[in-house]
Chains A and B, each alone.
Chain A
Amino acid sequence: MTRRGQLLVLAAAILASAILLHLAWVATAYRGYTMMKFCGPLESAELISVVRAGIAWNSSLLALISKLKSLGAKYGHCVELYDVGLKEDTRLTGPGGGLYRVVLENRAGRIVYEAYWNYTYITDYLKKTPFGARVYSLYRLTYTNRYLAPQWGAIVTCPKIMVPGDGKALTIDLKRVGRCEWLVGAPKGTSLTLRDEFGAPIVLVAHDGPG
């Protein structure tokens, strides 16, 4: 082999190595789609938080998702995952409990937000208030949220519950007694609306029992 031929082989080897490294870098790594965008979990979490906010704010879910999509495009999110169909929007409240269930579907699968609560009347008790002694009803309340998405399966949480500071003269007793369990005391015969930490209303209908 001549000297020129050997240099050619050396140059070809260097070029081949450089091309291979470049292809490995471009096709599968730093500049590839999977590297720059990891689609799925964040978009699903955003959709669930939007549904949660829509219920708290009593706003149109599709309008909020549309706004999320325009912002997602601005910030480089996987906007195709914001193209959802609203498959179910159930909002039930009544004596003994309630349920919010919203099901969205996008190309990744079903995204479900559920908030459910139930409560049972325990007893009546007398409470001293600035307006004198009043009869209160005590309830045991269980409140749970469940978030489902194809990226993580199901996550069950027990959000905090708060008494809305809307200036009502009523004084509500509220104490957490378990992971998802609460004791709620309210003036007898009074229905009340609590809020979870995200703002979703939790309605307790007054107990009409004896006492």
Chain B
Amino acid sequence: MHRGLEAVAIALIYIIAFPVAARYVASIRAQREYALISAARASAYFLLLSADSDAFINMTRTLPEAQLGLGEYTVIALIPERGDFAAVAVHFKP
């Protein structure tokens, strides 16, 4: 009886652990990587089209998944402005 229970316990661990790991690798991690890649690409594109930090911020606000400030997936764009650089932090939701 005890042997049977232990076998079931081991089987359950594998049945639960492997799909969780697979789901993490295939889905959750991919989403997170996608969030960061999107953040970098979107910020780069907005930076190319922005003459100053105000224009950059306005463009960023058009993206629902982007928010100003620090967060989990933050990109800090350095924008040339009035002889110096403005640092604008944008974070993206996965």
Contacts and interface: CB of A to CB of B under 8 A. Distances in A.
B40 A38 contact: yes
B68 to A, nearest CB: 15
A67 B85 contact: yes
A14 B83 contact: no
Most buried by A among B6, B45, B48, B79: B48
B76 interface: yes
A192 B47 CA distance: 29
Interface stretch (A24-32, A95-103, A129-137): A24-32
Nearest to A45: B44
A48 interface: yes
A155 to B, nearest CB: 6
Interface in A32-85: 34-35, 38, 40-42, 44-46, 48-50, 52-53, 57, 59, 64, 67-68, 71-72, 75-77
Given A41-B40, A44-B44, A35 B33 contact: yes
Nearest to B41: A41
Contact of A72 (B6, B14, B24, B78): B78
Interface residues of B, number: 36
Secondary structure at the A interface, as helix, strand, loop or mixed, is helix
B6 A45 contact: no
B13 interface: yes
B6 A10 contact: yes
Contact of A75 (B9, B29, B32, B87): B87
Interface string B13-49: 1100100010011000100110011011101110111
Most buried by B among A45, A76, A197: A45
Nearest to A159: B51
Given A42-B43, A71-B85, A53 B80 contact: yes
A152 B48 CA distance: 12
Contact of B78 (A10, A35, A71, A199): A71
A7 B9 CA distance: 11
Nearest to B75: A42
Interface of A: 1, 3, 6-7, 9-10, 13-14, 17, 20-21, 24, 28-30, 34-35, 38, 40-42, 44-46, 48-50, 52-53, 57, 59, 64, 67-68, 71-72, 75-77, 147, 151-152, 155, 157, 159, 197-199
24 contacts: A7-B6, A10-B6, A10-B9, A13-B10, A17-B17, A17-B21, A21-B17, A24-B24, A28-B29, A29-B24, A30-B29, A30-B32, A38-B40, A42-B47, A44-B44, A46-B78, A50-B80, A68-B78, A71-B78, A71-B85, A72-B78, A75-B76, A152-B45, A155-B48
